[in-house]
């Protein structure tokens, strides 16, 4: 089914982990204010950011404006709650936040949040009225998901109309799943009743975390503040989800969001669930009814997703940014995630070109991993990417491998050391990556081993989800002209983050303040409570993940934003300027430094690249599989650009039907391999084309 991929503004992390409470419409909202430790946590965080963040920014009026927009966008990303008059009233704070932050004043953040709560409850109280009469699903109207272009509503009546469209859009999703109107209204009322309950459960920590993340995101998108509850929920979700689908989960407002995909797990293998996707429904088995989990607390959702190994769970997914569009349905078989599942894996596939057959090895690397615990404990056969790949190459050589493809698709990175050591298997000694630190000093990281473990034909396959350590490896292989990079432009994450525990910094700050005179009794008591609370473990402040350095290739070019551009780019639905690091607000810029001295192997010549590109162009023109791929990519690109979603049921039903039978086209295509591997390649046009090009490389070298 063709899906619209909407790339909209960033939603700031807000994790609750709260227990459901009794609710009544007459219950009064509790007044929220900063906790005693919040001013000191704010001061420490700002000090660390200004002194140690790679960007070396200081708070200013321009930063205040960015923080202001971040905070309003975090609370109301779809412009469905605040009125234009609300935002106009908030505008007086736009240039004042930097001064408030320096004075550890959080009043504005809590004031704006208080108005957000009132507006949210006002909206939820009107849901039933908007669902009294069934919508006219034959009417041609649209819901626009380009929220950056949507104006703030000027009246409550205009907001009513906006919510009518939202609810109609959500109703169509239920209609397409076969539900009747009375079932739809019940589901939607239950959904928003849970959301309403959550509004009453918001606490001081929630406001502080949302606001402080609006501050950290003004420095760069990978710098985040994690409240104690967020850290606990993340660890809880991490440990539980490893026994189910292999997805670490977090919570943003009333949505359960994918925080990370565990390499090797069912979610990773599906290639359909990604970071920042939202899980809105869970069903057990192939026939179970979907349960709407919007507004559920995180641990309850995790309990629904968990289950015995071998059992089926079905998820309804909203792709990143697609808050109100038609969800995808994903079927997963639960597994117990093991380290072996995360490890590199190899396969040997014979590919025929003309009257010659070449045995091509494929090594799939889901992440750059290393078992530090075993290594530090002296275990000789500890697992690591480089160790595993070395063994796999040896086995493939023994089986008669003629050429090797390293598959880094969906590899989001991992150990920097492993990326360097893995590169060393294919190149002579020399610099692999350069790192610029916050003091602007540059350190080159080298492969010190002059031996080349594998010197045969080499290709590397990447996609838009290949990031960080994957880009270091593929960039080095390209710089040394050791192999050909194929596929999509990589993600473009060229920054380095460290996780900092804030507790000890806040203790030091409070101790310093307590040692100084001229404090009021109230202030002194607050400081003493904070100090003793952290010391005893009763108070935890949280953690700061901060960008401290940038990666650069041996040539001096940064991987930031630009990523690694393939030598031969395959059809891709993603625009590198909008999807990936380059599409993130406040991302660090691309730049370059001096090249480190190194000697390319020149295994890959311009003539060889020209020959491979000629073969690729011929396939794009004449190969049925590649023609089908180009067609689907173009359709997806069109969907990405079209931010309007039809609210006509017949139109949506026709859009949801898969009219193209790709399997039929592929099954009739040219046979390149044995029956044993034909199905694998028929389902993966990118891998199939990569092996054809690698076979051409082998043939050129043999010839």
Structure tokens at 294: 């919007």
Q: Measured in whole angstroms, how far is the alpha carbon of residue 596 from the centre of its chain?
A: 32
Q: Strand 568-569 to strand 484-487: parallel, antiparallel, or no bridges (unpaired)?
A: parallel
**Are 108 and 93 contacting, i.e. CB atoms less than 8 angstroms apart?**
yes
In angstroms, rounded to a whole number, what is the distance separating the alpha carbons of residues 576 and 243?
35
The alpha carbon dihedral of 308, 311, 315, 320 has a sign of positive
Residue 383: active-site member: no
Q: What angle do CA 421, 425, 431 make, to 5 degrees?
A: 55
Structure tokens at 69: 């927009």
Structure tokens at 424: 């060393």
Quick one: which of 13, 38, 14 has its CA closest to 202? 14
In angstroms, rounded to a whole number, what is the distance separating the alpha carbons of residues 371 and 381?
10
Cα distances (Å, whole numbers) of residue 88 to 93, 132, 152: 10, 33, 10
| Entry field: residues in the chain | 703
Choose the catalytic residue: 4, 493, 561, 696: 493
**Are 551 and 568 contacting, i.e. CB atoms less than 8 angstroms apart?**
no
Choose the catalytic residue: 479, 567, 619, 623: 479
Rg (C-alpha) for the chain, rounded Å, is 27
**Are 407 and 389 contacting, i.e. CB atoms less than 8 angstroms apart?**
no
Residue 304: active-site member: no
In angstroms, rounded to a whole number, what is the distance separating the alpha carbons of residues 312 and 286?
7
In angstroms, rounded to a whole number, what is the distance separating the alpha carbons of residues 259 and 276?
6
**Are 407 and 461 contacting, i.e. CB atoms less than 8 angstroms apart?**
yes
Cα distances (Å, whole numbers) of residue 583 to 69, 272, 429: 17, 21, 35
**Are 507 and 531 contacting, i.e. CB atoms less than 8 angstroms apart?**
yes
**Are 648 and 171 contacting, i.e. CB atoms less than 8 angstroms apart?**
no
**Are 550 and 436 contacting, i.e. CB atoms less than 8 angstroms apart?**
yes
Choose the catalytic residue: 187, 227, 384, 468: 468
Residue 187: active-site member: no
Quick one: which of 496, 513, 514, 697 has its CA closest to 604? 697
In angstroms, rounded to a whole number, what is the distance separating the alpha carbons of residues 443 and 303?
46
Structure tokens at 133: 């009469």
3-state secondary structure of 317: strand
Q: How many CA atoms lie within 13 A of 596 on its CB side?
A: 24
Cα distances (Å, whole numbers) of residue 589 to 93, 148, 218, 312, 441: 28, 22, 14, 44, 18
3-state secondary structure of 437: coil
Q: How many CA atoms lie within 13 A of 289 on its CB side?
A: 7
CA dihedral 24, 196, 116, 133 (to 10 degrees): -110
Q: What does DSSP assign to residue 314?
A: E
Which residues participate in catalysis according to the annotation? 468, 479, 493
């Amino acid at each position: 089914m063709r899906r619209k991929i909407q790339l909209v503004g960033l939603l700031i992390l807000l994790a609750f982990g709260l227990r459901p409470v009794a609710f009544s419409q007459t219950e009064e909202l509790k007044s929220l204010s900063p906790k005693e430790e919040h001013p000191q946590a704010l001061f420490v965080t700002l000090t660390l950011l200004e002194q140690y963040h790679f960007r070396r920014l200081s708070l200013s009026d321009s930063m205040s404006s960015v923080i202001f927009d971040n905070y309003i966008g975090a609370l109301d990303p779809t412009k469905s709650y605040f009125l234009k008059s609300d935002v106009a009233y908030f505008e007086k704070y736009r240039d004042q936040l930097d001064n408030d932050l320096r004075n550890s004043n959080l009043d504005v953040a809590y004031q704006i949040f208080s108005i957000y709560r009132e507006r949210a409850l006002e909206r939820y109280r009107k849901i039933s009225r908007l669902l009294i009469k069934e919508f006219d699903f034959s009417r041609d109207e649209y819901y626009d998901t380009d929220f950056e272009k949507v104006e703030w509503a000027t009246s409550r009546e205009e907001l009513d109309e906006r919510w009518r469209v939202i609810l109609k859009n959500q109703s169509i999703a239920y209609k397409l799943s076969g539900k009747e109107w009375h079932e739809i209204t019940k589901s939607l009322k239950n959904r928003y009743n849970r959301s309403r309950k959550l509004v009453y459960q918001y606490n001081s920590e929630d406001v502080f975390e949302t606001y402080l993340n609006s501050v950290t995101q003004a420095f760069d998108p990978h710098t985040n503040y994690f409240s104690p509850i967020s850290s606990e929920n993340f660890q809880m979700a991490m440990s539980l989800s490893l026994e189910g689908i292999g997805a670490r989960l977090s919570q943003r407002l009333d949505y359960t969001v994918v925080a990370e995909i565990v390499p090797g797990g069912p979610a990773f293998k599906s290639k359909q669930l990604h970071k920042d996707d939202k899980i809105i429904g869970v069903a057990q088995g192939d026939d179970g009814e979907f349960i709407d989990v919007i507004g559920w607390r995180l641990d309850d959702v995790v309990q629904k997703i968990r289950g015995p190994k071998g059992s089926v769970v079905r998820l309804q997914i909203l792709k990143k940014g697609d808050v109100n569009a038609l969800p995808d349905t994903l079927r997963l078989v639960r597994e117990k995630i093991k380290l072996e599942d995360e490890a590199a894996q190899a396969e040997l596939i014979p590919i025929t070109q003309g009257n010659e057959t070449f045995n091509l090895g494929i090594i799939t690397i889901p992440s750059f991993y290393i078992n530090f615990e075993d290594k530090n404990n002296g275990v000789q056969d500890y697992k690591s990417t480089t160790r595993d790949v070395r063994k796999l190459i040896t086995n493939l050589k023994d089986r008669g491998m003629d050429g090797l493809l390293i598959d880094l698709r969906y590899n989001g990175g991992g150990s920097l050391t492993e990326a360097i050591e893995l590169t060393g298997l294919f190149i002579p000694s020399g610099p692999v990556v350069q790192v610029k630190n916050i003091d602007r000093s540059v350190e080159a990281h080298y492969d010190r081993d002059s031996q080349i473990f594998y010197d045969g034909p080499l290709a590397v396959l990447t996609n838009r989800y290949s990031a960080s350590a994957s880009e270091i490896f593929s960039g080095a292989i390209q710089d040394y002209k050791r192999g050909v990079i194929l596929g999509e432009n990589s993600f473009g994450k060229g920054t380095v983050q460290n996780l900092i525990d804030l507790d000890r910094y806040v203790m030091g700050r409070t101790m310093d303040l307590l040692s100084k005179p001229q404090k009021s009794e109230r202030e002194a008591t607050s400081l003493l409570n904070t100090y003793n609370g952290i010391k005893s473990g009763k108070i935890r402040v949280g953690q700061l993940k901060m960008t401290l350095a940038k990666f650069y290739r041996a040539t001096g070019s940064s991987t930031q934003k630009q990523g690694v551009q393939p030598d031969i780019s395959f059809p891709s639905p993603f625009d590198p300027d909008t999807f990936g690091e380059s599409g993130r607000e406040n991302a660090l810029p691309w730049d370059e430094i001096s090249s480190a001295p190194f000697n390319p192997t020149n295994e890959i010549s311009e003539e060889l690249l020209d020959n491979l590109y000629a073969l690729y162009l011929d396939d794009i023109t004449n190969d049925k599989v590649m023609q089908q791929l180009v067609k689907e990519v173009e359709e997806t690109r069109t969907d990405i650009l079209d931010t309007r979603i039809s609210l006509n049921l017949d139109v949506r039903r026709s859009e949801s039907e898969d009219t193209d039978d790709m399997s039929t086209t592929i099954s009739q295509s040219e046979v390149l391999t044995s029956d044993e591997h034909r199905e694998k390649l028929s389902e993966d046009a990118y891998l199939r084309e990569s092996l054809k090009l690698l076979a051409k490389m082998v043939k050129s070298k043999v010839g």
